Structure 1
Amino acid sequence: MPPLSNVTSTASSETRGAVLKRFVQNSFGTGVAVGARTAGALVLNKLMALYGGPGALTLLAHFQNLLALFTALPSDGVQVGVIKYLAPLPPTGRRYRAWLGAGIVLNAGALLLGIGVLLLAPAPLLGAFHVGWEWVALFVVGVALLMVQAYWVAVLLAAGKLRAYIGLTVAVAVLGAGAAAGALVSGQGAQRALLAYLLGQGLVAAPGFWLAHQQGLLPRLRGRVSWVAVRQLGQFLVMAVSVLLFSYAVSFALRSALIQRFPLAKVDLWQAVTKLSDNYTMVFSALMSSVYYPRLAALMGQPLALRSYVRTVLLLVAVASAAGLGLLFLLRDWLLMVLFDTHFVAARYLVGPQLVGDWAKFLTWMLLFLLMAQARVGRYVAVQAGSAALYAGLLAVLIPRYGLVGVPLAHAVRFGVLLVGCGAYFRRYWRA
């Protein structure tokens, strides 16, 4: 990748072919990182099942959820804002240092908030692990290192250093799974393996710092905090909180309601389809977050180049995702049997509406990235809240009438409505 100053100064002259070539090349590179994450997760799951003892997989899932609680605000909030504000700036300027320092302050604040909650309510968070305070102290160290590592990744992505991002992501996957594997094979038990998994990932903070420093992306800070930058970055925390409230909480409530309404074996069919969806959605989300969004942030000051980029990539994703999801539909019986078990083929009738909803979801997300790049916090939160309310209303109507298939139908209608609304709102970005 050329220096950011060259990228931003020449972006407006890029042809549609050049835009497509850049996006596809970067997407293939990011695919390596996503593949490493997936492979690491599969290896870790297998080792926990073989060597972790009874309940080890449940402990692993619980531990990963715990990490998400501590890292959601910085990862989904602060880092998103840092990418937006650093992307168009040279790393030698005063404004760059202001945003960089503000991000460090907010990450430190998120860590202190997490530690405070942990000290006030250790039992709800750690009760399932049956660990002592030594383990808790190392856990806090690991979370801090993980936050630092993620921050260096955000700085590198803002500068378009995709190769460095890929290398760090692969290192996180390898060191995390490798450290856990060593603990499990040596008989140290599931709890120590989980801690090793976290600390192994956190070790990548050191090479992350080195890479960012070598690229000249970490200028010396002068000890003064820009509270204006802190307040503006803080807006992205509101976005992160809205995702937690209107996405994760709604999903949890939906699953609880389905368990009460249907037999568990039947709910498992829906869960298999959503797991299939989660796998390719993770790939899409990683590509958009590491390739598409940083480029949007870099082009915010160039309206013509921005519209051209959005229009080109949106068309590419619409066609490619339709083809890919259509192939998944044709292979649905085989996929359900191979990925889960033979009896999960009974979930085939749920796959169609789920795939239609996912296609609309992908395009909707691409348009909503514009609100994030523009820091339209109020509108972003309003869309999240409206989406959750629409989904809840659709579920209340469709499940009693159509049974379990009402869930993917509600998903498809929800994102169909959102896509139409977002398409109308952002029409100047995709119209020729």
Structure 2
Amino acid sequence: MPLRPAPLLRRAAAPWRGFVRGSLTTAVGLAARAAGAVVVGKLVATYAPVGGLTAFSQVQSIMALLTTLAVDGTHVGLVKYLAPLRPGSPRYRAWLGAAAALNAGALLLGAAGLALWPGLAAGQGQRAVLVGGVALGTAQALLGTALLAAGELRAFVALAVAVAALGTGAVAAGLGPGRSWPLPTVLLAYVVGQGLAVVPALALAARAGVLRGLGRRWVARPSRAALRGLARFGLMAVGNIFFGRAVDMAVRALLLARFGPARADVWQAAAKLSDNYSMVVAAVLSSVFYPRLAALAGQPAAARRYLRGVLALLAPGLALGLGALFVARDQLLPLLFAPRLLAARALLAPQMLGDWAKFLSWVFIFQLTARARAGRYVAVQAVSAGLYAALLAGLLPALGLAGAVWAHALRYGLLLLGCVFFQLRAGRAREAQGVGNDGQIA
């Protein structure tokens, strides 16, 4: 973890080495999360009613809507601001207090929206359980963020293992041979199971020392400066909600209404396979790449070298990995889901092509996050979502279900080209000025 200035300077000369070391450290947690996601997907696809896989994905999308402001916003900023501070110090507690306050406000807003959601097929009791499980999950995610900011990567990985095990165990308790809980009960158990990871999170945080000063008013009253600082990252998360999570839910509902549960499950199998490996890539980038990039924000030349080194490693590595998955698609789809979903094989080529472009575009866009460029970040999200909607409108009538994955591929292919164009333009501008600017997307 890039938390001490001297190691950072040494690693800048060979940026990919630190990225690889950090990625290997997170391998256990990533393997647990991926295995948990695979087992849950298999159980739902095999034992839930037709349309269960799509319903499960919708619940995951609702969870994401309720947690995006915290996980994709507040917590991202918290890593940036807590990293140089000593746990238990007044400034540390002020930033942590601001994060807790913003999380509570976001959760209350989400709960109100969920209670008033007319199209959600769930009773008020089920909605309350969902919100409670998400609240517990948000609390464990906040503790995990404190571990990450303190450089406690092993504890952070152990927490990821606990979250995966508890969520998977909750689904396995209700679905499987001889077990047939109602699907809504299984889905709520999954949410609450993941939330119960707050218990090991507290233990790991206390052992790592990030709870230092708990008996002496550990979380201080948030300062206005801290609230403003984290609010910029919250604005980025709002962009993710409106132009990411909400769009995904709308597309899923559109395909379900247009093609029916059985065909929607075929598309969802391709999307769920993508989600499984996307989760791994996102975890590596957010826990290894982003903290280092944020720490190098004051060293523009080193940050650019680091970004180029990671891109040079990821572009061929991701291509090889996705190519291997594509070759094994006939074995993977029945193994991970159900034999009836083998039809998703026809959708995987454009899905994986779009995913490769998406992962590389993430590397560029992380620059905006590291520099807290909220306006530009939201603008990129808005343009991407608008392009996706236009592509869906044109391709679904022409190509049917395949139009959804081709819209995905074209969306992220064009986004990656745009990122490369603006990065090159920014580089030419720096050369013309004879100075090293911040290296961000212009």
Tell whether the structures are fold-level matches, with TM greater than 0.5. Answer: yes
CA distance in 2, matches of 1:210, 1:260: 45
What secondary structure sits across from 1:155 in the alignment? helix
Query: 1:38-87 CA deviation, whole Å, 9 max, x = no partner?
Result: 33344456667899899987775565444334322212221111112223
Partner of 1:207: 200
Superposed counterparts of 1:359-378, under 5 Å: 359-378=356-375
Q: What's the offset of the Cα at 1:164?
A: 0.7
The TM-score, its normalising length taken from structure 2, stands at 0.80
Gapped runs of 5+ residues in structure 2? Answer: 428-438
Letter of the 2:116 counterpart? A
Residue 150 of structure 2 corresponds to residue 159 of structure 1: yes
Deviation of 1:274 after TM superposition, in Å, equals 2.7
Task: Sort the Cα spacing of 1:387 and 1:115 in 2 relative to 1 into closer, same or farther, 3 A.
Answer: closer
1:121 to 103, 106, 116: 116
Tell me the equivalent position of 2:325: 328
Query: What residue is the counterpart of 2:27 in the other structure?
Result: 31
Inter-partner Cα distance in structure 2 for 1:325 and 1:335 = 13
Residue 41 to residue 344, structure 1, CA distance change in 2 (3 Å): closer
**Distance (whole Å) between structure 2 residues aligned to residue 385 and residue 248 of structure 1:** 12
Q: Is the CA contact 1:88–1:299 (under 8 Å) kept in the aligned structure 2?
A: no
Question: How many equivalent residue pairs?
Answer: 421
Alpha-carbon spacing, 1:137–1:100, altered in 2? closer, same or farther (3 Å)? same
Q: CA RMSD in A?
A: 3.7
Matched, 1:395 2:392: yes
Q: TM-score under structure 1 normalisation?
A: 0.82
The alpha-carbon deviation at position 173 of structure 1 amounts to 2.1
Residue segments in structure 1 that go unaligned for 5+ positions in a row = none
The Cα of 1:115 is off from its aligned counterpart by 4.1
1:168, distance to aligned residue in structure 2 (A): 0.7
Distance 1:270 1:293, change over 3 A: same
Which of 159, 169, 173 is residue 168 of structure 1 equivalent to?
Answer: 159
Which of 218, 230, 248 does residue 233 from structure 1 map onto? Answer: 230
* Residue in structure 2 matched with residue 419 of structure 1 by the alignment: 416
Q: Deviations over 1:94-139 (max 9, x none)?
A: 4433322211111122233344445x538765x53x575xx77665
Q: Which residue of 2 aligns with 1:111?
A: 107
**Deviation at residue 366 of structure 1 after TM alignment:** 1.0
Question: Equivalent residue for 2:281?
Answer: 284
1:177 maps to 2:168: yes
2:136–2:198 Cα contact (<8 Å) kept: yes
Cα distance change, pair 124–367 in 1 and its aligned pair in 2 (3 A): same
Single out whichever of 226-235 and 312-321 deviates more from structure 2: 226-235
- 1:147 equivalent to 2:147? Answer no
Paired position in structure 1 for 2:9: 12
Q: Percent identity?
A: 50
- 246-255 vs 311-320, greater mean Cα deviation: 246-255
The alpha carbon displacement at 1:420 in A equals: 1.9
SS at match of 2:151: coil
Change (3 A) 1:415 1:56: closer
Q: In the superposition, relative to structure 1, how do residues 272 and 189 fare at CA in structure 2: closer, same or farther (>3 Å)?
A: closer
Q: Provide the rounded CA distance (Å) in 1 between the counterparts of 2:395 and 2:117.
A: 40
Matched, 1:98 2:110: no
Aligned partners of 1:88 and 1:206: how far apart in 2?
27
CA change 1:50–1:323 in 2 (3 A) is closer
